[in-house]
């Protein structure tokens, strides 16, 4: 079991190890920006990782491509391409 915590006051989400970050946030009732609905095309679902980078999956080829194409900052991950493997703390500008 892993926990997704939030930089802003909000109850944490308990999630299964290996869950997709975008799907976990959506299942927890949080909006996640996306125009491709998680197909790994738009890179709008980027989430800032405040703590716990080591508890996320390594970047896959698609995420590396999207990060370069859309100039995604190093502290953000493309949530539809990322899985959670331990406790993390996240935030976005729209929560």
How many whole angstroms from its chain centre is CA 92? 10
Mean pLDDT score, 16-23: 98
What is the residue-averaged pLDDT of the chain? Answer: 97
Q: Would you say 90 and 13 are in contact if contact means Cβ atoms under 8 Å apart?
A: no
Does 19 score more than 90 pLDDT?
yes
Mean pLDDT score, 14-33: 97
Q: Would you say 55 and 32 are in contact if contact means Cβ atoms under 8 Å apart?
A: no
Tokens of 29: 């009732």
């Amino acid at each position: 079991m892993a926990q997704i915590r939030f930089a802003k006051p909000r109850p944490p989400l308990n999630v299964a190890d290996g869950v997709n970050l975008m799907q976990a946030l959506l299942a927890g009732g949080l909006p996640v920006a996306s125009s491709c609905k998680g197909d790994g095309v738009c890179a709008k679902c980027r989430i800032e990782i405040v703590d716990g980078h080591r508890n996320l999956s390594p970047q896959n080829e698609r995420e590396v491509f999207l990060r370069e194409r859309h100039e995604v900052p190093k502290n953000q991950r493309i949530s539809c391409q990322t899985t959670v493997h331990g406790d993390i703390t996240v935030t976005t500008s729209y929560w």
